[in-house]
Amino acid sequence: MNREINMSQIDLQPGFDFQQAGREVLAIEREGLAQLDQYINQDFALACEKIFYCSGKVVVMGMGKSGHIGRKMAATFASTGTSSFFVHPGEAAHGDLGMVTPQDIVIALSNSGESNEILALIPVLKRLQVPLICITSRPESSMARAADIHLCVKVPKEACPLGLAPTSSTTAALVMGDALAVALLEARGFTAEDFALSHPGGALGRKLLLRVNDIMHTGDEIPHVTKEASLRDALLEITRKNLGMTAICDDQMQILGIFTDGDLRRVFDTGADMRQLSIADVMTPGGIRIRPGTLAVDALNLMQSRHVTCVLVADGDHLLGVVHMHDLLRAGVV
């Protein structure tokens, strides 16, 4: 009679130490990664060169756990300047191989190097003259022998005590993929702004792509008065525009100075008759300004370093707009 085993009903061994079991896994995987250094060799350099000069895309394939690692590898390539995508070998055998062109490169992963699904595709890849890079643990394997470039990724043992579940081997393959991607990133001179272009929806994209001219107040939204205005007129303008400041400009919007809520508090402290003051008497000449193409994150850093909540956006002395700390916060630049 067949007996189904419900793993949740198995009794826990007395004194079993989960922490110790976890530490043993870390120790085994660290040892595996320590062994990986020997495989960053001439074959690794050749693989990087082949990918660097590829005019098409890097197509990554793998079955099972190697497939999961392959998906991550393709995603890392794609986000760091190397155009890449993942194709499931099983689906490739049923039409998806049409995604691969002779201009592409295929990276195939298999710990044993004997993945039947990938081996079935190799004759077609050879017929198309698609360069093949195989990542396996066995240089004598069928995939390694068929590869144009073979990257050996071998670990002393799996962290799984049964030696069955891919653990150390998949970690090592993942790290090898990172090594390829980062080496290529550096070779291409890939920048943080390049990275942000492929991550426009996240906080990183907002920080690295958003510029002051995307969010600044312009036109009638700019609080400004002439130097002939009274302090009362300036306060009314500050209230109307609700940015806590006003610029003082001539008729051509050339900046003469700035007056803020902080300046008003300082006027109170002097005890001066506010009804008799003109804005020219109390303004701060010049004012902190930035150019419209400045990154929003740089504007935020400037405000924080100067302890202000608003800066003028200008081309030289010509006022173009105003950006407030709240504009940056609303845009997600934090």
Is residue 200's pLDDT more than 60? no
Whole-number mean pLDDT of the chain? 90
Reported pTM? 0.65
Is residue 278's pLDDT more than 80? yes
Is residue 6's pLDDT more than 90? no
Could you confirm whether domain 212-330 is CATH 1.10.10.10? no
Return d(Cα 59, Cα 71) in angstroms, integer: 10
Is residue 271's pLDDT more than 80? no
Q: What is the DSSP letter of 13?
A: P
Sheet containing 310-315: order of strands: 289-290, 310-315, 318-324
Is residue 4's pLDDT more than 80? no
pLDDT, tens digit, 9 for 90 and up, residues 80-106: 889 999 999 999 989 899 999 999 999
Could you confirm whether domain 22-190 is CATH 3.40.50.720? no
pLDDT of the residue at 8:
58
pLDDT of the residue at 313:
96
Tally Cβ neighbours within 10 Å of residue 286.
12
Angle at the Cα of 307 from the Cα atoms of 304 and 313, rounded to 5 degrees = 75
pLDDT of the residue at 7:
56
Q: How confident is the model at residue 204 (pLDDT cuts 50, 70, 90)?
A: low
Return d(Cα 2, Cα 20) in angstroms, integer: 35
pLDDT of the residue at 1:
44
pLDDT, tens digit, 9 for 90 and up, residues 135-189: 999 999 999 999 999 999 999 999 998 888 899 999 999 999 999 999 999 998 8
Residue extent(s) of CATH 3.10.580.10 domains in the chain: 212-330
Residue extent(s) of CATH 3.40.50.10490 domains in the chain: 22-190
Average pLDDT over residues 65-77: 96
Output the DSSP codes for 20-70.
Answer: HHHHHHHHHHHHHHHHHGGGSSHHHHHHHHHHHT-SS-EEEEE-HHHHHHH
Distance of CA 106 to the CA centre of its chain: 25
